[in-house]
Amino acid sequence: MGNVPSEEANASNPISSKSSPPGSGGNPNAGVSSSQQQYPPPPSQFNSSAAPPPFNAQQEEGMEVDPPMPPESDETVPTVFRWEHGGRQVFITGTFNGWSKQIPMHRSGNDFTYIHGLKKGKHAFKFIVDDEWRFAPDQPTVADIEGRINNFIDVTGFTPFHGDDNFESRTLGDSVDVLEESKDKESWSQNIPGVDEYTKEPHPLPPHLRHIILNKAPSLTDTASLPTPQHVALNHLYCTAIKDNMMVLGVTVRFKGKFVTNVYYSPCS
């Protein structure tokens, strides 16, 4: 009879005697420090089984994700993923890891890269730039039935390069035979070319130096300005043949945006 002590009441209900951790407020994630959250939380379509992932098998016609290859096949295609649209931190995820992990990309200036070995087939992927889901507009894209846009890549027809399998078995004689065959296709000889081919006299005057002011007749309409000379004719001293016991010298110089030609007349006697 009488009131039951509080200790006995708590003992009869062990659940009610347990108190929540400090600062929890009923939130199970409140006790997790911010340093442990390395990646931005994915949207609901990555966590919930009811909602499909951003890229699933129900795609547009002609764009279906290939089923994964058997585990015994370890042939992969080294693929470089690039993000060239800025950002402080960029992560990548896709069908190659089941949309289960956000992988940090390596930064070089304003570009981010990541190399991953992909199974042969079609793969969809997406970037997380500063906690925001993004797709690269300069790379192939595809939209699923819910309108979500992802990037995709097709490495189905990739053929690895194995080099020349017979390279190690070749001998020095085989290399000489190949060299002889290449020589036969070209014209080789030990004959000395004719003298006329390399002893021709050069032109007495280069062609671009013939069109100078001293070789042109004076203009009868406009004597205030002269035609613009070629740049190769500048700073050269020209002279004409002696005529009427008079030698004519001319030189053209450049002063900022203008050309100045000086003509000197000198008597020979």
Residue with tokens 């194995």: 162
Give alpha helix (H) positions in 86-213.
172-185
- Is residue 78 within a helix (H) or strand (E), and if so which, with residue range? strand 76-83
59-83 in b/e burial notation, b at 16+ Cβ within 10 A? beeeeebeeeeeeeeeebbebebeb
Residue type, 55: F
Domains of the chain: 36-154 (2.60.40.10), 207-267 (2.20.25.290)
| pTM for the full predicted model | 0.38
Six-digit token pair at 199? 């002893």
- Is 80 exceeded by the pLDDT of residue 266? yes
The tens digit of pLDDT for each residue in 40-89 reads 444 433 333 333 455 443 444 444 444 444 443 457 888 999 999 989 99
The tens digit of pLDDT for each residue in 98-107 reads 889 999 999 9
* C-alpha 189: how far from chain center: 47
